[in-house]
């Protein structure tokens, strides 16, 4: 559940134009300020200052998808005073397959005044390996909170609406056009809906998921793909009380897999995730996991599945006046597959930079602003994803080592608590903490992951002794993992399990 704050160390730029610092919305130049004032006057008069077209026909920013990424983008653009339209194909609220964990970086990226609809506050984590070697670590302070996505997402949309964004639900986008007879000028993008309606905008933000139309338009390239299965299981008060304030993380039987139990009042969210291509094994893992927890006798209200997709390092984040964020951009933490914090932070950045793209009067300036957005993502979330890939490679091959470290080494547990609370990031720790950096470098050397090769890891393909790359049965990774943990072997779902305990 690692994530971080987007950072900026300098802008990307074209050869001909110097770029503003990325990661925050720059103050407009005097000329830009005059242009903004002219544009506002034009809106009041009903015409566009640049080309005389009807201003009420053209939105400044259109956001496609009303999940956390889209709602954050819409809020950021609307709070900047722009005319924003938020499109969502479903009716709200709607269910999403998601554990609903709100870690520190997610909380810090929420709009001002946002009150989290928390159903539980986590103070303890039980770690286990396929049901064995269960150890619980405890904290006096809250580690993270748990929400139901329908309520959380709907509340984010409400904040975007209060900031001035207009919402349309039940509308599906079929394609985006930046050229052609349906586009009045080169400053305009046409978003074509399923009924044939064309919605015009100066900038578009795609937040319509990893299989959405906007990511396909931009040309997003996806590498790591995982299958998550989840059940919402109502439980009696006695069972709910046993789980209150405590979550379970179970390192699973397949390389890179894990399961979770997140308590939410009278319901337990129980799920597992593993690499795509292992659907039968993933389903069997969930069934065994639920049975082992003693929950097989309770009927789930919802059982669902979802594919998570991580971008490749060279995947684009924009095309012309169209930006992508969140799942649509393939932005999530590769090891834990945590996506809410990535959605909120990338959405906010996309909304801020979409404002600048909308203000651009030519293709060069629009591209410069899009490149600045891409730099902001790569300098922050991109760095975090790179570390996450290395951690996934280690976890896939040495889950027992990570289990032993996080449950038995106090600095490792403290790092976990700092990351979940948002006071530190995994990437920041590797950069600034000499011990953490040397430990990861040592693992890299043992596994040869830093060179892009290793015994396991999607995106870190294995290498045979002859130096050629080889892949596992799903074409992406080799099999095999170790245990290597000794200690308590109590049931992972037993509230009274002991093992290593501690406070942080």
pLDDT band at residue 492 using 50, 70 and 90 as cut-offs: low
Q: What is the pLDDT of residues 139-179, one digit of tens each?
A: 999 999 999 999 999 999 999 999 999 999 999 999 999 99
Q: 275 near 227, Cβ under 8 Å? A: yes
Indicate if the pLDDT at residue 432 is higher than 90: no
Which of 6-15, 191-200, 327-336 is least confident?
A: 6-15
Q: What is the 3-state secondary structure (H, E, C) of 414-446?
A: HHHHHHHHCCCCHHHHHHHCHHHHHHHHHHHHH
Written as one string, the DSSP assignment of 53-73 is: -BGGGEEEEEEE--SHHHHHH
Top pLDDT among 46 and 115 is at 115
DSSP run (H or E) holding 144: strand 144-146
Burial tier of 93 (Cβ tally within 10 Å: 0-12, 13-18, 19+)? middle
DSSP run (H or E) holding 233: strand 222-234
DSSP run (H or E) holding 225: strand 222-234
Query: Chain-wide mean pLDDT for the chain?
Result: 82
Rounded to an integer, the average pLDDT of 207-231 is: 97
Q: Which residue has the tokens 């209150």?
A: 244
Written as one string, the DSSP assignment of 392-417 is: HHHHHH-HHHHHHHHHH-HHHHHHHH
Q: Which residue has the tokens 């602003």?
A: 369
Percent of the chain with pLDDT over 90: 72
C-alpha distances in Å from residue 43, one per residue of 175, 248, 416: 27, 54, 50
Rounded to an integer, the average pLDDT of 456-462 is: 44
What's the topology of domain 51-98+149-222+312-385?
FAD/NAD(P)-binding domain (3.50.50)
Indicate if the pLDDT at residue 350 is higher than 90: yes
Written as one string, the DSSP assignment of 27-39 is: PPPHHHHHHHHHH
Residue 16's pLDDT is 33
Distance, in Å, from the CA atom of 469 to the CA atom of 7, rounded to the nearest integer, reads 34
pLDDT band at residue 439 using 50, 70 and 90 as cut-offs: low
How many CA atoms lie within 13 Å of 162's alpha carbon, on the beta-carbon side? Answer: 11
Which of 54-63, 88-97, 181-190, 231-240 is least confident?
A: 54-63
Two structure tokens written together for 61: 């920013």
- On the question of a cis peptide bond just before residue 48, with omega within 30 degrees of 0, the verdict is no
132-138 vs 258-264, strand pairing mode: unpaired
Q: Where are the domains of the chain?
A: 51-98+149-222+312-385
**Residue in 39, 62, 66, 81 with CA at minimum distance from that of residue 202:** 62
Residue 12's pLDDT is 36
Distance, in Å, from the CA atom of 412 to the CA atom of 405, rounded to the nearest integer, reads 6
pTM for the structure as a whole: 0.81
Q: What is the DSSP letter of 107?
A: H
Residue 481's pLDDT is 41
Q: 68 near 344, Cβ under 8 Å? A: yes
Q: What is the pLDDT of residues 274-331, one digit of tens each?
A: 999 999 999 999 999 999 999 999 999 999 999 999 999 999 999 999 999 999 999 9
How many CA atoms lie within 13 Å of 316's alpha carbon, on the beta-carbon side? Answer: 16
Residue 443's pLDDT is 61
Two structure tokens written together for 383: 């760095």
């Amino acid at each position: 559940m690692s994530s971080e704050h987007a950072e900026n160390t300098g802008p990307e730029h074209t050869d001909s134009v110097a770029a503003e610092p990325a990661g925050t919305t720059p103050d407009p130049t005097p000329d830009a300020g005059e242009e903004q004032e002219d544009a506002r006057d034009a809106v009041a008069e009903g015409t566009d200052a640049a080309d005389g077209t009807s201003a009420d026909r053209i939105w400044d920013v259109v956001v496609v998808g009303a999940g956390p990424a889209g709602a954050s983008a819409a809020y950021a653009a609307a709070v900047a005073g722009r005319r924003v339209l938020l499109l969502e194909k479903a009716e709200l609220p709607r269910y999403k397959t998601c554990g609903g964990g709100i870690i520190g970086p997610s909380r810090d990226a929420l709009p001002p005044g946002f009150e989290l609809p928390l159903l539980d506050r986590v103070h303890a984590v039980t770690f286990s390996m396929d049901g064995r070697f269960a150890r619980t670590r405890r904290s006096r302070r809250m580690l993270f909170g748990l929400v139901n996505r329908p309520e959380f997402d709907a509340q984010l949309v409400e904040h975007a609406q209060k900031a001035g964004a207009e919402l349309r639900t039940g509308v599906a986008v079929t394609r985006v056009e930046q050229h052609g007879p349906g586009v009045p000028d080169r400053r305009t993008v046409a978003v074509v809906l399923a009924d044939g309606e064309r919605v015009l905008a100066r900038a578009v933000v795609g937040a319509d998921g990893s299989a959405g139309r906007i990511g396909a338009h931009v040309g997003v390239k996806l590498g790591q793909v995982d299958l998550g299965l989840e059940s919402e299981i109502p439980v009696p008060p006695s069972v709910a009380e046993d789980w209150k304030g405590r979550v379970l993380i179970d390192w699973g039987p397949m390389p890179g897999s894990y399961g979770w139990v997140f308590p939410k009042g009278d319901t337990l969210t129980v799920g597992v995730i593993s690499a795509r291509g292992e659907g039968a094994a993933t389903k069997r893992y969930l069934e065994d996991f639920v049975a082992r927890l003693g929950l097989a006798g309770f009927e789930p209200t919802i059982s669902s599945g979802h594919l998570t997709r991580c971008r490749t390092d060279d995947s684009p984040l924009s095309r012309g006046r169209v930006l992508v964020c969140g799942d649509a951009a393939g932005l999530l933490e590769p090891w834990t597959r945590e996506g809410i914090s990535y959605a909120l932070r990338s959405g906010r950045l996309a909304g801020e930079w979409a404002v600048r793209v909308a203000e651009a009067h030519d293709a060069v300036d629009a591209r410069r602003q899009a490149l600045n957005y891409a730099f902001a993502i790569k300098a922050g979330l991109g760095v975090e994803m790179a570390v996450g890939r290395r951690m996934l490679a280690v976890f896939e091959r040495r889950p027992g080592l990570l289990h032993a470290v996080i449950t038995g080494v106090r600095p490792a547990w403290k790092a976990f608590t700092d990351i979940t609370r948002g006071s530190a990031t995994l990437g920041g720790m590797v950069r600034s903490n000499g011990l953490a950096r040397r430990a990861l470098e040592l693992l890299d050397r043992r596994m040869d992951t830093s060179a892009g090769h290793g015994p396991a890891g999607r995106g870190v393909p294995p290498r045979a002794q002859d130096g050629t790359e080889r892949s596992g049965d799903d074409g992406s990774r080799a099999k095999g993992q170790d245990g290597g943990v000794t200690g308590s072997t109590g049931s992972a779902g037993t509230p009274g399990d002991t093992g290593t305990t501690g406070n942080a």
